[in-house]
């Protein structure tokens, strides 16, 4: 038993030891359990994903459209419509020559398959190996980085026209249809579809057509390098176009040759020889190239570019309906201007021109003139592609616009046209080699003086100038902007850019990017693609209006009078660029000739920019001679008049942020100190009227004012004593409870931006008052003051405009003001008021005898006496006048004769001290 017990004890201990071991191994078991569970979860999720993927694929595949043989082989043309939704032209389906598989050169087939689908003859529509490589690339480099499409799938994609989207639906449908395509057609038939349907740039479809288009011969006659060029184009037709991008074409061609070598289709020696051949070898010469002729090529080319920017669409094969901004009538007239001499008398056939017409409010392109006598459908477009110096048309953009926007200059800001040099000592000149001295910014701009423009640019600064230009769509290269850029040097622009930039000046400072497309409707007739065009504030409304107001003067009295259209509110700017001395001598060019001649102008409806000049030929330059330097203005005048005819074109509206003083404009709230103060005048109030209302016992003063934003100050007198009646921004004031019998004089001035106008005056007498009090007052006065001022029985109004406020008190103050008094002898006389500077005229008064006296001070007084009993021998001396007051009446003269003959006293003047009066018979 003991042995058994011992064995039991041993077994118990052994069991405990085993339990401790298990506890020590437990963490390892948990980790393994976690891994196992994770793998199981991943497997389940993966299985679920596969099931979901299969389900999704099945769903998308079931909704795949059916493809016809025509869709698989023929491109579907696109339709272009104008702004009125009328069809302009159709693109595609015209320029294609069909080739059977049997006619396809074997080397061409090898090049295509080596590049596009090396396992074409091994797969059944989709290639799992190619797909696996694409999946890895998409995970490592991002979705869509590498395509897995076989050549069969590409045929399907071209037929579906959905290649712009990299979506699961698209891929699923392409894969499913590719499998179906492989079941229905042979490999050779599918390859035949591909080589005839693929797009090859320039509106060309298929390899056979491309061979004749680019090399002027059939596909069977192409060399290995030429075959490689064509085989590499389908990946990106426009980028690998040998006419337009020879450098990119060479790189792509060499890749194709390497792929052919890698797939054992050519030897290494053949590859290297072909790679060494220049891309230009064998290409059709530029003058002999013939592309698919379209209506309005300049505009259509811009449409094609915009379509490509909006997505990976093919206007020649995708069956798009493109709604454009084209004004067909304006475009037809533009073509007529450029391609005939019936409107413009051009000097020769070599002179070129670029025209861009846009809508001022929206930026929509209405017409484009790509050049004169253009033979190439996709050739150089002088309206869009040209990059020429703008000359002085840049001044509102780099100089004066920023000066108003950032420095708050007025149009009257004073500048100096004097001898000046750039910082490196190079002198600046104008075409006339003259210096006109001091002038306003307005004059400097409408006369297009270079030195004031440069001085303005210096004050604005390079950074602010570039910032202003960038907001107008001119993304200028900061390194290329130099001091001479202030007058156009180092700047390269196109007519379309200038038309759009100037449109912002006519659109209250709002810039719209130029665009030719309103919307695109895809082949399904439902899906719409619209360009994102957003209006942006490029400048303040005051800057836009003030520049516009000055540029209106360019057309009427400046450098652009040839462009003037009577009755049409418009603004614009001329621009020319000169040759340097070396070119003048080298090419025998007249010193008065220019390289470029511009005109950019706008109304509230349209903005139009025109460039004219010559292209260099065989290294030789040509200049625009002086008689033809206005051709750009002539083109502008004819086209702008044509598009504006029969349409109401409102004038530009001055915003509230601008005030006009005289002929110049100022920003409200900013005082420009650098102005000619003599030229600054402020309009005075008009039609000032004062009336007393007995019912309300108030005087109401009203006036008119043609300007805006003025503060009106009303001052004057009450019975000759100075008074202030306050200020207002309105056009009326009231005076409550006026003094009965008092005469109120009101002087109204207008003040804008610290500039005060002349005064406009009126007066009114309030009825009432005590006559007894007046009589008592008269008895207490000296005899010579015993004259009564007789007011009119009714209220009286008198209006006058004077340079300063009129002081009409009884005393003469500051040599102004007047005293009006009627003197009488033994009998009363009637007196009337006459205003003037310190003078008083008294009317004849009857008396028993007459005397005359004069008294001088700041004012003079003459009393005319009429005798009734005879001729007085002489009048006694009058009393001395007091300083600054009116002289008193002379004393009674001695009668010597009984006749009735009046005596007149003579006027005499004196200084402030009293002088003796002298009587006369």
Tell me how far apart the alpha carbons of residues 35 and 723 are, in angstroms, rounded to a whole number. Answer: 102
Tell me how far apart the alpha carbons of residues 444 and 556 are, in angstroms, rounded to a whole number. Answer: 15
CB 890 within 8 A of CB 919: yes
DSSP string, 624-672: B-GGGTTHHHHHHHHHHHHHHTTS--PPPPPPTTEEEETTEEEETT---
DSSP string, 410-431: -TTBEEEE---B-TTS-B---T
Please give the structure tokens belonging to residue 134: 């694409």
Tell me how far apart the alpha carbons of residues 510 and 445 are, in angstroms, rounded to a whole number. Answer: 22
Beta strand residue intervals within 330-485, DSSP E: 352-359, 365-369, 414-417, 437-440
Which one of the listed residues 157, 392, 494, 500 is annotated catalytic?
392
Which residues sit opposite 609 in a β-bridge?
356, 600
- Torsion of the alpha carbons at 344, 346, 350 and 355, rounded to the nearest 10: -30
CB 254 within 8 A of CB 275: yes
Tell me how far apart the alpha carbons of residues 186 and 663 are, in angstroms, rounded to a whole number. Answer: 83
Please give the structure tokens belonging to residue 883: 């300083």
CB 688 within 8 A of CB 748: yes
Helix (H, G, I), strand (E, B) or coil at 343: coil
What is the 8-class DSSP label of residue 400?
I
Find where tokens 């080319």 sit.
Answer: 301
State in Å, rounded, how far the first CA of the chain is from the last one: 184
CB atoms < 10 A from the CB of 326, how many?
28
Q: Helices 224-232 and 106-116: crossing angle, nearest 10°?
A: 40
Which residue, 849, 848, 841, is CA-closest to 921?
849
Helix (H, G, I), strand (E, B) or coil at 823: coil
CA 713-715-719 angle, to 5 degrees, is 165
Cα 607 to the chain's mean position, in Å?
A: 9
Please give the structure tokens belonging to residue 220: 């069977």
Rg from Cα positions in the chain: 47
Which one of the listed residues 116, 455, 483, 784 is annotated catalytic?
116
Q: What are the phi and psi torsion angles at 404 (to 5°)?
A: -75, -45
Q: What is the 3-state secondary structure (H, E, C) of 754-816?
A: CEECCEEEEEEECCCCCHHHHHHHHHHCCHHHCCCCCCCCCCCCCCEEECCCCCCCCCCECCE
CB 363 within 8 A of CB 514: yes
Q: Is 116 a catalytic residue?
A: yes
Residues involved in catalysis: 116, 392
């Amino acid at each position: 038993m003991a042995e058994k017990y011992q064995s039991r004890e041993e077994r118990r201990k052994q069991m405990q030891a085993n339990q401790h071991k298990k506890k020590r191994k437990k963490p390892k078991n948990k980790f393994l359990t976690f891994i196992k569970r994770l793998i199981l979860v991943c497997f389940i999720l993966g299985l679920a994903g596969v099931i979901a993927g299969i389900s999704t694929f099945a769903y998308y595949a079931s909704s795949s459209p059916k493809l016809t043989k025509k869709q698989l082989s023929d491109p579907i043309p696109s339709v272009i419509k104008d702004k009125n939704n009328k069809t302009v032209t159709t693109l595609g389906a015209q320029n294609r020559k069909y080739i059977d598989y049997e006619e396809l050169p074997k080397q061409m087939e090898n090049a295509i398959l080596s590049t596009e689908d090396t396992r074409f003859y091994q797969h059944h529509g989709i290639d799992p190996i190619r797909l696996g490589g694409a999946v890895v690339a998409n995970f490592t480099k991002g979705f869509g980085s590498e395509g897995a499409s076989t050549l069969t799938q590409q045929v399907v994609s071209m037929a579906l026209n959905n290649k712009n989207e990299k979506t699961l639906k698209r891929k699923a449908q392409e894969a499913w249809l590719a499998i179906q395509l492989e079941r229905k057609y042979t490999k050779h038939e599918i390859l035949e579809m591909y080589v005839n349907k693929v797009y090859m740039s320039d509106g060309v479809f298929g390899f056979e057509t491309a061979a004749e288009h680019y090399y002027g011969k059939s596909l069977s006659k192409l060399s290995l390098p030429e075959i490689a060029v064509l085989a590499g184009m389908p990946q990106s037709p426009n980028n690998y176009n040998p006419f337009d991008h020879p450098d990119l074409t060479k790189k792509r061609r060499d890749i194709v040759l390497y792929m052919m070598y890698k797939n054992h289709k050519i030897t290494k020696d053949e590859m290297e020889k072909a790679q060494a051949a220049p891309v230009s070898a064998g290409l059709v010469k530029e003058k002999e190239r013939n592309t698919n002729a379209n209506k309005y090529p300049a505009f259509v080319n811009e449409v094609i570019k915009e379509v490509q920017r909006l997505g990976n669409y093919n206007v020649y094969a995708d069956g798009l309906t493109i709604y454009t901004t084209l004004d067909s009538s304006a475009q037809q007239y533009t073509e007529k201007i450029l391609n005939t001499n019936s409107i413009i008398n051009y000097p020769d056939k070599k002179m070129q021109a670029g025209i861009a017409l846009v809508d001022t409010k929206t930026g929509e392109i209405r017409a484009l003139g790509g050049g004169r006598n253009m033979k190439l459908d996709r050739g150089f477009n002088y309206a869009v592609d040209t990059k020429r110096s703008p000359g002085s048309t840049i001044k509102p953009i780099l100089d004066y616009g920023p000066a108003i926007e950032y420095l708050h200059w007025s149009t009257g800001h004073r500048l100096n046209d004097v001898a000046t040099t750039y910082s490196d000592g190079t002198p600046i000149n104008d075409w006339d080699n003259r210096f006109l001295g001091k002038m306003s910014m307005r004059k400097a701009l409408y006369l297009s003086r270079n030195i004031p423009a440069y001085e303005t640019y210096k004050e604005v600064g390079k950074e602010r100038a570039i910032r202003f230009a960038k907001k107008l769509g001119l993304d200028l290269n900061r390194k290329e902007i130099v001091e001479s850029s202030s007058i156009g040097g180092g700047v390269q622009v196109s007519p379309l850019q200038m038309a759009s930039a100037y449109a912002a000046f006519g659109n209250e400072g709002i810039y719209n990017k130029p665009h030719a497309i309103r919307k695109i409707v895809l082949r399904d007739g439902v899906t719409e693609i619209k360009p994102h065009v957003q209006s942006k504030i490029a400048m303040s409304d005051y800057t836009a209006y003030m520049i516009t107001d000055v540029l209106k003067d360019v057309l009427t009295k400046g450098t652009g009078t040839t462009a003037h259209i009577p009755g049409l509110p418009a603004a614009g700017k001329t621009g020319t660029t000169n040759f340097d001395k070396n070119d003048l001598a080298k090419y025998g060019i007249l010193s008065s000739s220019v390289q470029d001649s511009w005109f950019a102008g706008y109304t509230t409806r349209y903005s139009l920019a025109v460039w004219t000049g010559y292209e260099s030929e065989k290294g030789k330059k040509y200049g625009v001679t002086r008689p033809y330097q206005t051709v750009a203005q002539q083109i502008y005048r004819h086209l702008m008049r044509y598009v504006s005819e029969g349409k109401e074109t409102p004038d530009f509206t001055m915003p509230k942020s601008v005030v006009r003083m005289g002929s110049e404009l100022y920003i409200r709230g900013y005082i420009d100190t650098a102005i000619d103060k003599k030229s600054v005048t402020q309009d005075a109030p008009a039609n000032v009227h004062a009336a007393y209302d007995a019912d309300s016992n108030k005087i109401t003063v009203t006036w008119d004012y043609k300007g805006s934003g003025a503060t009106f100050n009303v001052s004057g007198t009450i019975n000759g004593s100075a008074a202030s009646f306050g200020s207002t921004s309105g056009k009326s004031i009231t005076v409550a409870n006026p003094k009965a019998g008092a005469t109120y004089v009101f002087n109204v001035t207008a003040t804008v931006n610290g500039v005060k106008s002349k005064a406009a005056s009126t007066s009114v007498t309030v009825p009432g008052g005590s006559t007894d009090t007046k009589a008592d007052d008269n008895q207490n006065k000296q005899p010579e003051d015993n004259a009564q001022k007789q007011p009119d029985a009714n209220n009286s109004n008198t209006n006058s405009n004077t340079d300063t406020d009129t002081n009409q008190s009884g005393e003469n103050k500051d040599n102004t003001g007047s005293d009006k008094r009627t003197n009488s002898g033994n009998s009363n006389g009637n007196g009337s008021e006459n205003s003037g500077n310190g003078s008083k005229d008294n009317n004849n008064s009857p008396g028993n005898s007459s005397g005359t006296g004069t008294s001088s001070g700041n004012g003079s007084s003459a009393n005319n006496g009429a005798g009734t009993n005879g001729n007085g021998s002489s009048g006694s001396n009058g009393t001395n006048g007091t300083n600054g007051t009116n002289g008193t009446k002379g004393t009674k003269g001695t009668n010597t004769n009984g006749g009735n003959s009046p005596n007149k006293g003579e006027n005499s003047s004196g200084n402030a001290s009293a002088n003796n009066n002298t009587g006369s018979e």
